[in-house]
Every structure is written in structure tokens, then in C-alpha cells.
Structure 1
Amino acid sequence: MHYALNLRTFFYSHYFYLGLRFAAGLVGVTLITLQFADMTTAMTVCIGALCTALMDMPSPLRHKFNEMSASVLLCSAVTLLISLCAPIYWLLMAMLVLLSFMACMMVVYGKKSMPLQLATLFIMTMSMEHEMTMPESFVHTGLFTVGALAYLAYSMAVSWILRHRIKQQVLAEALFELAAYIDIKADFYDTRYNLSEQFNKLVRQQSVLADRQQASRDLILRSHLNSKDAIVVQVHVCMLDLYELILSTHTDYAQLRLHLADSPVLKTLHDIAYKAARDIESVAYAVTRKRVSYAAISYAPELDAIEAELIRLQARVDAGKPAQEALAVLRAQRNKIRAIAKMIGELHQASQKAYTSTPFWSDADMGPFLSQQKYELQMILSHLRLDSPIFRFSLRVAMAISVGLLVAAQLPYAAHSYWIVLTIVIILKPSFSMTKQRRSDRIVGTIIGCVVTAIIIKYLNYPGAILGILILSTVATPTFIYLRYRYAAIAVSIMILLQMHLIAPGNENLIIERLTDTFIGAAVATAFSFVLANWEYQSLPRLIREVLGVNLRYVQASFDLLQGKGKDDFAYRIERKRLMDSLAALSSALVRMLDEPNSKQRAVEDINLFIVQNYLLVAHVAALRSILRRHAKELPVAAVNAMLAHSHDQVCGILARALQQHGQTVALPLHGTSGASDAATAAATPQVPWSGWPLVQRRIRLLQADADKIIVHSQAIVRDVAPA
């Protein structure tokens, strides 16, 4: 279950705060307007506020102002344009299609532009039903703009007052997702769960976690000016360090299950991971409540049980029984668990200390860690070609809206064509899988919303009750729109139908007509989801190349760090973040492809294994960092660096060959000894006495083996995708 769907955490989440801010702004603007004007004027002002409110998301204040200002200007221009065209039917239809196409082209600017696209299409559909004279159009647009500016001012004021609170909530969400990530890792120790299925779950959760961590970075690292901000920065940095330690816990779970199937230590390992997840959740919960966090969980019983199992395994080894591998793996896990428990303790402490300055890289440029967005006309112009997925999506929406308008004109009853168009706009998304999910949520949500509204009108038809339900649905709509769209669809259906009932009471066909319009819009959107469709397999070569290219740079930065080059791990953190983002993008594409028709799916198993192997490379590097830290005493720097340099050359060479398979040539600087073989390297290095040799050698062997598997799966993907 998503953390925000739990009642314990729901009312502290930024989703609920967004709903309250949204509802208070809309209701407040409407009530103030009603003091000076009639209901029609108030509704126009309210719709202006609503369009701006669609852009009200957790963002840095400067970004929020720019995004909401863009919504005010764009939606006001669309309102005026549609109002002026409304008296001329053919001109209105042509303008609706053209605006639909142009609004969808804004998707080139990424995820941030999606609410702006929706706001533009929403006000386009709301304005198409009203025929006005030219003076009336300007007055109508002026009232709309007043409402939009009023909500902009209100939202910026509230966001400024709550700017630190929003940072806490977004950081807490990332911590909750990290706890969910550990819960999945805990089940690796449970023999009831299939290891391959667990890896798939882990990679999917890693995609979600990467997105939440990026949201946290964007808010926290852009501006940290006082001691309160310094605390959230420190908690954020501890969270990222903890994440790397958790990555390093990847081990040979099959060996553990094989050798320890009859031992209670597997359940102990599961329980201690479960405890760690709850411990992190306690930090997240404290952060959401603006409180400091204190450690209340003890790992001592589980650690004692692991120590007892290690003694038993050592006795078996001493007796000549084959348990050496299980002993080494369990001992390594014990050491990593201790490090994780210590880091969780530091996470608690980070929430307690009042810092005088931000404990981060004070002289470093945070730009590479942050989402960069440029709104340039050239980006749209560069996509005006038929092979562009965005261009095809824009054409698809424009054609669907054209058909929706034609169907609405032929219906025997007084159809509200704007409802059909709005349904098409909401359902039809850039990818087939998103369209499929949104269609299901929209239809189910509308049906439930209509049934609930019918019950309200029949049994609770009192002004006070309807007003209360309207306010609740207004809060619920933005709260769930990014959390569970189906719930948002229920709320928005209730809200709009009750508003229509208040404006025009006695219309017995209101609900039936809205249901019919929804089904028509859904049918048109479904039909056009196959027209000029952009199937996920078409983007796979680009995504694979991006993963390989970023992974190559990550490996280079990692080995530079492991060999002690550079004064800090700043470059390593940047490349790790980029690799996780690229893996998350590929993983999301794979998940979307699985929702597409079977004939459009390509290399599913190999892509999944390719993602897992790249993920494992990150885990091996994290483990190497942990080993070198843990065995830093008497570290033979020259010998270890020679081994690392040799491994670096091998792994980079493998990734470079994989890139060549995808049509990209890479020139690599060699750091190792070109004439040395694996056997020679392995024979030479252990002559220097050091306790960490077996662990480093084993982890490097795993690193190279997983790199070899990357090129195998890359070849298979090329074979499956290229012919298509």
C-alpha cells in the first residue's frame, strides 16, 4: 500500500496538503466573488482559479511561480480565442482541433508540462459551449484572468509560508519509498518467494524510489538557507548514503538459501531487514510531523542470532564440512547489516541536530543533481516530423477530438460535446499503457461517481449536505489525482454533477447523459490509441544506449573513487544518480510495454535481465566501497589499485563493446596492465598480506561476470528489436 493511503500518514502527506490548499483557494475565490457579483460571474472566476490550481504542485518557489504564471497567460489566451471563435461554428471546430494539437506538442518539455497541457485543454473544452459577442468575450476573459491571478497570489503566499513544510513532506515520501524498497529485499531471505520475481519487484521499486529521490533533490538542494533547511539537507544526504549501503547488501541469495535452508538464520535476516524498514519509516513519520526522531528499535537480538549461526558454520568448516561459501556470505551480510544499523542511527541523529550551516558540498555546483528544464520553441520545432512520438501523439489527439465533435453533433439528445471532448483529453495519453490505465480509471470512477451522486440527490438533497459533499470532493480531487486517479475520477464526477444540479435542478437525465458522453469519449479515445501509435519497443534502442553510456561513465567514476583519485565522491554521486535515472526510465518503458498487445512486445525477458545486471553492477561497486572502508587498516594501496585498474579496463571494455553493438563507438583510456591476465593478477596480489583480499577478489569476479552478462543480453535485445 502507498504510504499516503494509510490513515496514519495520509493527513501529514503533501497530497492531502495539496487538496486542502486547492479546495480552500477555489472555495475562497468563489465566495469572495459572490459578495460582489452573481453566480455566473463567480463560476467564471472559479474556473480561472481552477486552471491555475492544476499547476499547483510541490516545486521550488521560483519554478512554481514561472509554471503557474505560464498557465495564467496561456489559459487566458485560449479562453479569449475560443470565446471569439464560438459564434462561427466552422471556425470554432477548426480552432479546437488546432489548439488540441498545439497543446499536446507541449509534452516535449517533459513531465512538468503535463498539467499545463491538461489545463489548456480543459479551459478549451469549458469555453466551447458559450457563444458571446466580442465585448462579452473580453469581459469573460478578464474575469477568468482575475480568478487565475487570485489563485496564483494565494498559492504563492501559502507555499512561501509552508516552504519548509513541503520540503519535509517530499523528503518523508522518499524515506517511505526507501522503506518499501527494504521490505522487498527482506523477502529475498524468505524461501517462499521466487528470486527472479523478487528481482523484478526490486527493479520496479527502484524506479519509483529514483523518482521520489529526485523530487527531494529538486526541492531541498536548490535552496537551503537556514538551520531548518540544513536539517532536511543532512537527512537527505544520510538517506542517499543509506541507500548505497542497502545496495551493497546484494549477495548470492541462492547460496544462502541452499546452505541455510534448515537454519533459522534466514528468518532472522528477514526480520532484521523488516525492522530496518520500520526504523526508516519512523524517521519519515517524525519528519512529516515536524518532530525529531529517536531510535526505538534494537537490532541486538537478531545480530546475536547471526553471531551464533556464524559460530555454528565455523564449527562445520573446522570439521571439514562444505560450508565455507555460506560462512563467507553470511559474515559479509552481518558486517553490512551492522553498517546499515549504524547509518540508520545517524539518520535519526540528523533529524535532531540544529546545524548552523548546510552540511553538504558548500562549494559545489548542485546543477547536475537537479532536474533541468528549458522551455525553448526550438524543442517543439525539432519534433515537427512524423517519426517523432510527440508529433504522432498530437496528431492522434487532434483527430480524436475531431471525431468526438462530429459524433456529439449527431447525437439525438442535447449532448454536451465538451464532456465528450474532455473525456478524450483525459484518457488519451502519449503511451498506449497510460491510455489503457486512464480509460479504466475514468470509466469506473465516473460510474461510481454517478451512482453516488444519484444517491445524494435522492436522499441528501439539502443545501447544507450538498455544500459539504462539494467541499469534500473538491479536496479529494487534487489529493488523489497523482496518487490514485480512480479516486480522483469519482470525486470530480460528484463535484461537477452536484454543481450542475445546483445550477439547473430538476434535470432527471443529467446523470444518464453524462454517463453516455463518458462512454462515447472513452470509445473514441480507445479507437485512436491505435492510430499513429508509438509502441514502447521503438524507444528501446535509444534507452539501452543511454543506460550503457551512463553506466560506462559511472564505472569510470567509481573506479577513480575506489582508487582514491579525487578529493571527494561528488563526481561518483552524480554518475550514480544518472545511472539510476536511466535504469528507471528503461524499467518504466518495460512496464508500459507489458500493457501493450503481445504483438508489440519485444525482448521482454532480456530487457528485464539487462536491467537487473546493470543494477547489480551498482550493487557490486557499493559493496567494494563498503569492503575498502571496513578493511581500511593496513590497506595495500598499490596492490589493490593495480587489481582495481585491471578490473576497470575489463568492465569498461565490455560496456564499450555493448555500445558498439548499438552503433556507438567509444574510445577508452586504459589504466591497467595490458599484458596481465586474470590469473596473473589473482596470483600476484594476495602475496601482500591483507584481510580484505578474499572479499575484494570475490566481488570483482562477480562484477566482471555480471558485466559479461550485460553484453549477452544486449546482443539478444539487438536481435529482437532491430528487425522490428
Structure 2
Amino acid sequence: MPRWRPPDFTRMLVGQHIVNGVSVGAGVLMIALAASAIFGFAAGQPATLGAISASISDMPSSWREKARTLSFGFALALISTSAIQLALPWPPVALATIGLIAFLSGMITGWGRWAVALGMQMLIPLVFVLGFPRETPAVALKIQALFALGGLVYIAFALLATIVTDASARRLVASETIRELAIYLRAVAAVFDPDADFEQAYGSAIRQQAMLSEQLQSARSALLDRPPPGSERMRLAATIGVLLDAFDALVAAQSEVTKVRAAPGSAPLLTQIGEALRVGALDLTHLSLEILTTDRPTLPPDHQRAIDAMRREAERQREPEAAHAEAWAALTAATERLALALGHIRRLERTLSDDRAAEAAIGGVDLAAFLPRRSYAWSTLRQHVRIASPVLRYSVRLALAMMAGAVVAQFLGDSGHGNWVLLTIAVVMRANYGLTKTRRDDRVIGTLIGCVVAAGAVAWAPAGVLVAVQGLAVVVIHSFVRLNYRLSSVGASVMALVSLHLIQPDLPAPIVARLADTLVGAAIAELFSFVWPSWEFVDAPGIARRLLARLASFTDVALNAAAPTQDYRLARKNVIEAIAALSDSAGRMSVEPVAARKGLEEMAALLMAAHGYIARLSAARLDIRAGAPPPDAQTRARLQRLLALKGGEAPPDAPEAAAPLVIAALAVVAAAGVYQRAARSGRDERKADA
């Protein structure tokens, strides 16, 4: 069978982010047209900017959660814009106000990754207001009132659009989640390919597992919010459990993958395994697209053929030479687990089409227990008010960078320069150097492309077409701000430059100046990334401790035959997220300066060891459910003692007759210790330099 690969742009062009981006663009454009018709184009700009400011935190979610987020975020925007309006008559006070608002914007990210947009809702509207000409208090009050009106109208529009598109949005998030599992299947196929580089394939599978974990978080938020029985919403909610059961079996199949790949004469079976996994991925992709057009999606009729071929090949070689019996036993077990995983694809089809199958998939699980909870409590931020906190350090860096940008902008002439320089700093600078560097490069390249596009549009397109270009640019910004920031930067540049031209069409478009401002802002963000930095190795001990704690909890539940399904699923969710956090940290560290990459190779070893241990636990869980006796109490107690070892504490040597689970746990603890020691050496070097 041909090795089919989906086009790379499938993930980019099919998903919630597109619908959300179109909705945001439509809302902003509607308010811009209404404000222009009522107040005039230039006078109505504050209302348009209010709508854009309110839309910053408009991300896919339920209408209840969106109402809380948009209202809270826009309240922060009103506070920051009011504060800067009051401070503008006194430049030193205005500079201090910019620093204070930037600091608070950074601290808000302590609520979690989801709160980054809230932080930007304090900062970006402030930059918008700085772009307005200095006016009398009465005119400033009118600007603020129009700004608030535009934002409030946008929030009402966004909530209405969310309610209207709720059914299609749920289908889209389910489709995206199924597609991410399909991509993971292809990654696992590479792991079993004897011709592929094992470490590279294994690392790719772990990275895709992290992406699947992130998508599952979005799916839980969208699908598990009180689905009524006997409805499409219930069937979509049930898919999460089925997908995770398939994921469990896929992970379990990798428990002895090195032994499987090395089994003599295994090439024909490994080839069939690869084909079965790729066909399964293709079928999942088919299902992910069909779910968008019907509430009763079906698999292709030949779905089972590749699974049967894999099993026939395993049956044909059932009796290997005695010398290789152990390796072939591992290969046979892996084949059965992969067949089980692929069988869940058929179960997924039934779950999406049949209410009783969906109810059986959910069982007695309380779906509300898996819903992500957002906290808006200010008390949560107190834990970050300490010298070692990455959030506090980021907040200080951001405040200093914004103040420096404001000072530099004073020497560049008109307010448009300062507006663009500060905007670049605000959107580029992130809590860690890796993300800042990536966004810096994307921002510069995106701005360059956007300037070229805007120059062509301004030179040749009439005003009516330019308004449409402005709306399309907003769609691009919001659709791709998380998925492809470079493309989002193209849209941002086009929108800003076209808007400036429409406000003052008789003036030449400042395209070259805006590109220069982007370079200045990016340079300031880069410079201040090294001020009181927080490198990834600083958090290494905490990440390793959390991983070991989650592994201990998962071990306790996975090896307990009487453990409730809900407890197992919660423990599995937590350990998947812990692995994803470690994988994300490795990705960020890989783009930090070489001198700051303390423990990067050791982190990769820990990731592989932890994944190997989880694979053995998942395999043991499947065996227990199939009727095999669980490990004895002594083995379970020893596993708990090992995983409870403190960082840096050397694990004991494994006796020759130790169970494979114990050996795998020892490998994890040893890798965690090596990783923590490498990170501590970096911290010691930093203290010595200080």
C-alpha cells in the first residue's frame, strides 16, 4: 500500500481557529463599518480599536467561559487605557504608568498559559491609545467612551456568534482531536520501522504526544461541558475516552520496542505493522473530515483489511527459533496491542453514530471532573511574588523593555513610530528566551512580507477594496496567532498599514518606516530578554519532581485491578500532561543560547525513560484487564519507594531477577537524578558568575 501523507496545510486550514478567526473578523469589520457610518471613518476609529481590543482574548471556548474571559479581559483593557489617558499630560508619569501596566500584564500570566491573552489585553490597547493625537480632557473622554462602546458591542456579537455556531464548533474540536491522534499513529509507525533512526522517531512520537495532550485539553473544555444524554453533544464527549483508550494501547505496544525492532526475521511483520498504522491514520483522517458533514460518520469499508493482514503475518511466524522466543513474544504482544488500538477506531465510529455505544464509552465517569478550571483569583498570583519566580522576572523584563521602547520612540519623531515600536515589544517578548526568539524572527519576517503586500494594495486598490483587505487581515491575525505567528504577523502589518492609509489617504504609506520600527522593537525585546533571565534549567528540579509524583500516582492506580475507571483516567491525564510539560521545556531550551542549555541531553534521556516506563505501565494495565494477575504487593511497594526518591538521590542497583517494571522505574529515577544534577550545575555557575 502507498504511504499516504496528508497535506501539511490540513491542520492549518481545517479547525476551530479558522471559524473563530472569521467570526472575529466579521465582528470587528461590522463595528468598523457601523462606527464609520455613524461618526465618520477617522472619528469612529476608537470604536474599531475597542472591538479589536475586546477580541484579543476571544479564543474557542463555551459561551459561558467566553463571557467570563471577554468581560474580565476588556475590563483590564479599560483600566489600562484610562490610566494612560490620565497620565499622558505628564511624561514622567506616563512612562511610569507604561511600566506599571506592563508589569501587571506580565504577572497576570501567572494564572496559566490561557491568561497570556488577558495580559495582552492590558498592554496592546494601551499602545493603541498612545497612537491617538493628544487632545483635551473632553475629547479624551469621548475617545474612551467610543472605545468602551466598540468593545462592549463586540463582546455581545462574539457571545451571540458562539451560541449560533456551537454545534459546528464542537464538531470541529472533535475533528481536530481525531486528526491529532492520526498524526500520532504515523509517528508510532516510524518507531516500529527498523530502517528509521530510533531516537529520532521516538523523540518525534513524544513531541506529537505533547501536541495531542494540548489538543485534548481544548477538547475537554469544549466537549465535556454538561452534554445532555442522547444527543450529538454526548456522542462527541464520549469520543475523548475512546481516543484515549486507543492512545493507551499504542503506548503499551511500545513497552519493548527496541527488542521488537531487533527481533531476527521480523522485517515482514514490522512492514505490516507500519502499513496497518498508516492505514489506521488515513481512516482517522477520513473520519475527522466526515464528522464535519454528517452526525453519523462512517469508516471506509476496507478498514479492517490492514489489521487482518498484520495478524496473518504474526500468525504465520508464530513459532520462531527457541533462541529468539523472548523477542518474538514481545513482538506478538506488541502486535496484539496495536490491533487493539486500531480496533478502537471502529469503536470510535460506533460511538459517533450510536447513543448506546456513547453511553457505554462514558460509563460511570463524571465528565465534569475532567473539565479544565480557570482561576481568576488574585491570591493565586502571590506565589509568584518571589525572586526565583519566572513570572516575576518576566514581568520586570517586560516593564523595563516597554519603558525603554517608549524612551527610544521619543527620539524617532511622530507618535506612529512609538506606537509600532511598543506594539512589537509587546507581542514579541515572552516569559522565556526561546519563545521570544521565535516570535522575534516571525515578527520581522512577517512584517517584511506584510509591508510588501500592503504597498501593493495601497498603490492599486480602491478604498472599498482596502476596507475588505482590512477585514481579511483581521481574520488572518486571529486565525493563526497561535498556530503560525509569522502568518499572523503578515496580517497584522497589512491591517495596521492599510488602516493608517485609510485614516489619512493623502499621506504616503509609511511602509519602510514601519519595517524599521519593527527591527527597533525586536532588538529591544531581544536585549531585555537577557535582563534578569529565567532559563529553562532553573525549573528543572521542579519539573522532574512533578513528573515523578505523577508517575507514582499513575503507578498506584494502573496496577490496582479494583481502581475505578475515573481514577485511572484522571491519573493518566495528569501523567500525559507531565510528559508534555517536560517535552515543551526541552523544545524551549533547544533554542536558548548554548551556554544556557544545561541538561538538554539529559532531559531527552529522561523523556525517553519516562515514556518507556509509562508504556510498561499501560501494558501491565491492559494485561490486568485481560485477566492477568497484577504485580505482587512487594513489587508495587518498591515502585512507590523508588519514585518517591528525592532529587539527586542515587537509586539502588536492580537485582538480576528484578521485574521489568522495577528496572524501568530505576531507569526513570536515575535519568531524573542526572537531569537534576546537570541543571544544578548551571544554577551553581550562574551564582558564581553573580
Q: How does 1:541-552 map to 2 (within 5 A)?
A: 541-552=541-552
- State, as a whole percentage, how many aligned pairs show the same letter: 23
Taking structure 1 as reference, are residues 216 and 629 closer, same or farther at Cα in structure 2, changes over 3 Å only? same
540, 553, 574: which one pairs with 1:578? Answer: 574
The equivalent of 1:115 in structure 2 is: 117
Distance 1:354 1:498 in 2: 51
Instruction: Provide Cα deviations, 1:471-512, integer angstroms capped at 9, x if missing partner.
Output: 322221111111101001011111111111122224336111
Taking structure 1 as reference, are residues 467 and 38 closer, same or farther at Cα in structure 2, changes over 3 Å only? closer
Moved more, 87-96 or 153-162: 87-96
* Residue aligned with 1:36, SS: helix
265, 270, 275: which one pairs with 2:274? Answer: 270
5+ residue gaps, structure 2, are: 684-690
Distance 1:196 1:357 in 2: 38
Answering whether residue 126 of structure 2 is matched by residue 168 of structure 1, we say no
Distance 1:678 1:96 in 2: 62
Report the alpha carbon displacement of residue 455 of structure 1 after superposing the two structures with TM.
2.2
Taking structure 1 as reference, are residues 628 and 553 closer, same or farther at Cα in structure 2, changes over 3 Å only? closer
Taking structure 1 as reference, are residues 288 and 37 closer, same or farther at Cα in structure 2, changes over 3 Å only? same
Distance 2:596 2:638 in 1: 36
The equivalent of 2:633 in structure 1 is: 645
The equivalent of 1:717 in structure 2 is: 675
* Residue aligned with 1:35, SS: helix
Report the alpha carbon displacement of residue 443 of structure 1 after superposing the two structures with TM.
0.2
Q: How does 1:273-422 map to 2 (within 5 A)?
A: 273-296=277-300, 298=302, 301-303=305-307, 305-310=309-314, 312-317=316-321, 322-354=323-355, 365-366=366-367, 368-411=369-412, 416-422=417-423
The equivalent of 2:688 in structure 1 is: none
Residue type at the aligned position of 2:594:
N
Distance 1:646 1:437 in 2: 49
Contact 2:272–2:313 under 8 Å retained in 1: no
TM-score by length of 1: 0.88
Report the alpha carbon displacement of residue 155 of structure 1 after superposing the two structures with TM.
0.7
Distance 1:575 1:315 in 2: 38
Structure having the higher Rg = 1
Distance 1:191 1:72 in 2: 54
Distance 1:376 1:149 in 2: 23
Report the alpha carbon displacement of residue 175 of structure 1 after superposing the two structures with TM.
1.3
181, 186, 207: which one pairs with 1:183? Answer: 186
Report the alpha carbon displacement of residue 303 of structure 1 after superposing the two structures with TM.
4.5
Distance 1:55 1:271 in 2: 42
Taking structure 1 as reference, are residues 410 and 283 closer, same or farther at Cα in structure 2, changes over 3 Å only? same
Residue type at the aligned position of 1:498:
V
Answering whether residue 452 of structure 2 is matched by residue 433 of structure 1, we say no
* Residue aligned with 2:559, SS: helix
Contact 1:83–1:132 under 8 Å retained in 2: no
Moved more, 286-295 or 172-181: 286-295
Contact 2:429–2:529 under 8 Å retained in 1: yes
Contact 1:230–1:355 under 8 Å retained in 2: no
Equivalenced residue count is 674
Q: How does 1:498-537 map to 2 (within 5 A)?
A: 498-508=498-508, 510-537=510-537
Moved more, 706-715 or 464-473: 464-473
Taking structure 1 as reference, are residues 290 and 110 closer, same or farther at Cα in structure 2, changes over 3 Å only? farther
Answering whether residue 656 of structure 2 is matched by residue 655 of structure 1, we say no
90, 105, 108: which one pairs with 1:106? Answer: 108
The Cα RMSD (Å) is: 2.6
Instruction: Provide Cα deviations, 1:25-74, integer angstroms capped at 9, x if missing partner.
Output: 01111222233221133211111111111111112222111110012222
The equivalent of 1:62 in structure 2 is: 64
The equivalent of 1:477 in structure 2 is: 477
Residue type at the aligned position of 1:605:
E
5+ residue gaps, structure 1, are: 664-676, 683-699
Taking structure 1 as reference, are residues 647 and 354 closer, same or farther at Cα in structure 2, changes over 3 Å only? same
Moved more, 437-446 or 39-48: 39-48
The equivalent of 2:224 in structure 1 is: 221
Report the alpha carbon displacement of residue 85 of structure 1 after superposing the two structures with TM.
2.1
Report the alpha carbon displacement of residue 156 of structure 1 after superposing the two structures with TM.
0.6
Distance 1:24 1:66 in 2: 21
Taking structure 1 as reference, are residues 431 and 385 closer, same or farther at Cα in structure 2, changes over 3 Å only? same
TM-score by length of 2: 0.92
The equivalent of 1:689 in structure 2 is: none
Answering whether residue 248 of structure 2 is matched by residue 247 of structure 1, we say no
* Residue aligned with 1:430, SS: coil
Taking structure 1 as reference, are residues 312 and 492 closer, same or farther at Cα in structure 2, changes over 3 Å only? same
Report the alpha carbon displacement of residue 581 of structure 1 after superposing the two structures with TM.
1.0
Distance 1:157 1:400 in 2: 38
The equivalent of 1:627 in structure 2 is: 623
Contact 1:396–1:528 under 8 Å retained in 2: yes
Report the alpha carbon displacement of residue 250 of structure 1 after superposing the two structures with TM.
0.8
Distance 1:7 1:594 in 2: 25
Contact 2:613–2:668 under 8 Å retained in 1: no
Distance 1:616 1:461 in 2: 58
584, 587, 592: which one pairs with 1:588? Answer: 584
Contact 1:50–1:148 under 8 Å retained in 2: yes
Contact 1:559–1:644 under 8 Å retained in 2: no
Contact 2:80–2:126 under 8 Å retained in 1: yes
Distance 1:453 1:524 in 2: 25
Contact 1:4–1:13 under 8 Å retained in 2: no
* Residue aligned with 2:278, SS: helix
Residue type at the aligned position of 1:180:
I
Taking structure 1 as reference, are residues 718 and 10 closer, same or farther at Cα in structure 2, changes over 3 Å only? closer
13, 18, 23: which one pairs with 2:25? Answer: 23
The equivalent of 1:149 in structure 2 is: 152
Instruction: Provide Cα deviations, 1:537-558, integer angstroms capped at 9, x if missing partner.
Output: 0001011111111111111111
The equivalent of 1:704 in structure 2 is: 662
Instruction: Provide Cα deviations, 1:493-539, integer angstroms capped at 9, x if missing partner.
Output: 11111111122224336111111111111111111110011100000
Report the alpha carbon displacement of residue 656 of structure 1 after superposing the two structures with TM.
1.7
562, 565, 590: which one pairs with 1:565? Answer: 562
Taking structure 1 as reference, are residues 397 and 7 closer, same or farther at Cα in structure 2, changes over 3 Å only? closer
Instruction: Provide Cα deviations, 1:141-165, integer angstroms capped at 9, x if missing partner.
Output: 1111111111111111111122232
